[in-house]
Amino acid sequence: MEHELQLGAEDPLEETRLLAAALQAHSRRAAARGVAWSRVEANLSVEGKSGVETKTMPSSAAADRARSADAGVAAPAPTESPRILAPACATLEDLRAAVARCTACELCRTRTQTVFSDGLGARRILFVGDAPGADEDRSGVPFAGAAGQLLTDIIEKGMRLRRDEVWIANLLKCRPSDNGKPAPRASESCSPWLERQIELMQPRIIIALGQAAASHLLGSDDNLARLRGRVHERRGIPLVATYHPANLLRTPADKKECWQDIQLAMRAIGLQLSS
Ligand code: URA
């Protein structure tokens, strides 16, 4: 049997050396096959007498396949670059499904699920935030936590629309593991998904929430104070930048300026506030 150890050395030190060498060799073979740790553990307990599997650090794609195999569901295919996959998606649902299989950056290892978008977008207004947090990672819905409640109030009490009449999305589709800012490498590998999302949605206006979304979408290093308060044009689509709701929770005094930005965005697409 492939994994059987035949340690015949008399000398305990020599036996230990042989055991270590056998484990190393096995580890290399297992890594080449992408064996997951859960299966290694199972092997150790079932085949403990005659077979030894050792821990490997599977690639994220291999880990996903192994996890799926363990759960008895079809393994996702290894992912190509979002740069190749995203333009090939013909509908938002195709895109959502492709995003759900994405393993292009390290965030796929720590996410619970991808967070694609919320809303049906009948008004074709797209809000873009930065990245899912813990609530969003758990629910799969962008802006599901306290900042999301404030965004819902802006939409429903301020704009007098239903939340499901707009789209809400993020730069990143996975939660950054430290719950912090999108790392530049993650933003770079994720951005083709958002680009295709915008192409397929064809929003009448984009409202960028916060510095990260505004800088990324406008390709500008200017700070938010310089970017907000006017209507930009991004590849033919009007864009207004404003404060991130999480910042408004910390600095409620900025809500007044945020509301001015939202009104500006509404005027830009001819949306009147009924009195
Ligand atoms: N902050 C974001 O930018 N996006 C979310 O989905 C939640 C919080």
Is 239 inside a domain boundary? yes
pLDDT of 17 reads 45
Is 275 inside a domain boundary? no
Per-residue pLDDT, averaged over 151-158, amounts to 98
What is the Cα–Cα distance from 130 to 232, expressed in whole angstroms?
A: 19
> Which tens digits make up the pLDDT trace of 94-134?
999 999 999 999 999 999 999 999 999 999 999 999 999 99
pLDDT of 215 reads 96
**Mean pLDDT value across the chain:** 79
One domain for residues 168 and 51? no
One domain for residues 46 and 171? no
pLDDT of 171 reads 97
Is 6 inside a domain boundary? no
Spell out which residues line ligand 1, taking CB within 6 angstroms. 129-133, 136, 142-143, 147-148, 170, 246
108: tokens are 């796929």
One domain for residues 54 and 152? no
One domain for residues 50 and 100? no
One domain for residues 64 and 146? no
One domain for residues 187 and 66? no
Is 165 inside a domain boundary? yes
One domain for residues 130 and 175? yes
- The model's pTM is 0.72
What is the Cα–Cα distance from 272 to 263, expressed in whole angstroms?
A: 9
Which residues, other chains included, contact 166 with Cβ-Cβ below 8 Å and sequence gap of 6+?
A: 119, 121, 123, 125, 126, 127, 155
One domain for residues 57 and 153? no
What is the Cα–Cα distance from 50 to 69, expressed in whole angstroms?
A: 24
What does R_g of the chain's alpha carbons equal in angstroms? 25
pLDDT of 181 reads 67
Is 97 inside a domain boundary? yes
Dihedral sign of CA atoms 119, 120, 123, 127 in order: positive
The residue range of the domain holding 237 is: 82-268
Is 256 inside a domain boundary? yes
One domain for residues 54 and 165? no
pLDDT of 272 reads 85
Instruction: Tell me the pairing of strands 237-242 and 205-209.
Output: parallel
Backbone φ, ψ for residue 67 (5° rounding): -60, -45
One domain for residues 176 and 220? yes
One domain for residues 98 and 138? yes
Is 3 inside a domain boundary? no
Candidates 136, 151, 244, 249: which one to mutate for ligand 1, based on the most atoms within 8 Å of Cβ? 136
Contact 171, 130 (CB under 8 A): yes
Question: For residue 73, is pLDDT > 70?
Answer: no
> Which tens digits make up the pLDDT trace of 33-48?
343 333 333 332 323 3
Per-residue pLDDT, averaged over 189-215, amounts to 97
Q: Which residue has the tokens 């609530």?
A: 135
Shortest-distance Cα residue to atom 8 of ligand 1: 143
- Residue 133 Cα to ligand 1 middle (Å): 6
> Which tens digits make up the pLDDT trace of 6-35?
444 455 555 554 444 444 434 433 433 343
Question: For residue 271, is pLDDT > 70?
Answer: yes
One domain for residues 20 and 114? no
Dihedral sign of CA atoms 185, 189, 192, 198 in order: negative
Percent of the chain with pLDDT over 70: 69
Report the domain count for the chain: 2
Is 36 inside a domain boundary? yes
